[in-house]
Each structure stands twice: as structure tokens, then as C-alpha cells.
Amino acid sequence: MEKELDYAIATMKDNGLKYTKKRSDILSFLINENRYVAALDVFNFMNNKYQGVSYDTIYRNLRDFAELNILEETELQGEKRYRFHCDVHGEHHHHHFICTSCGATREIHMCPMDMFQEQLPGCLIEGHRFEILGKCEKCLKN
């Protein structure tokens, strides 16, 4: 966790975001959760620690972290969800299975992009997202 947090703080500072204990606590929470969580979940965690923290402040920080590629974001059940970027150093390309109930994720170590590139001759693909949505074993048992 320390390596990930150090990287995120350095990225913040390199991009003009001031270090604060609250920002560090948001990031630590997301690193520890290791799943997609709603802004409300982050707000509830932070409000327990810092009474009266603003929901807008939490949401703005999540958006800023996502723009800096510190966080990944997706939409589940019509709501944006966030998780700490699991590949902050670009060490390995992968995709995710995401549980639509609890937000738990699993890495998928394959990419379907080679097939798509063959079907798009002459085009330049500049990025992609590939997520598989469903229920994890734990949620299926409950």
C-alpha cells in the first residue's frame, strides 16, 4: 500500500494538487478497498473521520484523481464508481471482471483488441475499455 500511496501523492504534486491528509486518507481508503466504490462510500468513510466534510469536496477529489489516472472509474447501476488504479506504473495490461453487487474486481489477463484491430484496417485505435460485469461467488452465495 505504501508504494501505491507514494506514487499517487507524487502524481498529485507533479500536477499541482496540494498534499493534504484528507486526500491521503481518501487514497488510502481506496487502496485498501481494492474494488469499485461509490462516491457516497468514500464520503461516509471520510465523514466518520472528519465530521462535516463536504460531499462536493469528496466528489471533486475523486474526479481530480481520475483525471490524473490515479483512479479508475466505471459506471455501475447508473452511478460512477471509483477504485485505485491497479496498474499505476503501466507494468501489465489487463481488464476486469466487476461484481455488480459489491464492486469487487478480478483481473483478466487477456485483451480482445487484436481481433478488433484486424477488423479496422487503416484506423488508429487510441484507447479502449473492456469490462465484464456479473456477480462474484460471494454475492451469489448471499
Per-residue model confidence as pLDDT tens digits over 82-100: 999 866 555 567 788 888 8
Q: What is the pLDDT of residue 85?
A: 82
- 18 pLDDT higher than 80: yes
pLDDT of residue 42: 98
Which cell is 92 given?
501489465
pLDDT tens column, 20-51: 999 999 999 999 998 899 999 999 999 999 99
Q: Are 88 and 14 in contact (CB under 8 A)?
A: no
CA proximity to 59, closest of 84, 41, 34, 86: 41
pTM, to two decimals: 0.76
CATH class, range 95-141: alpha beta
End-to-end CA distance of the chain: 30
CATH class of 2-84: mainly alpha
Q: Would you list the domain boundaries of the chain?
A: 2-84, 95-141
Residue 95 grid cell:
481488464
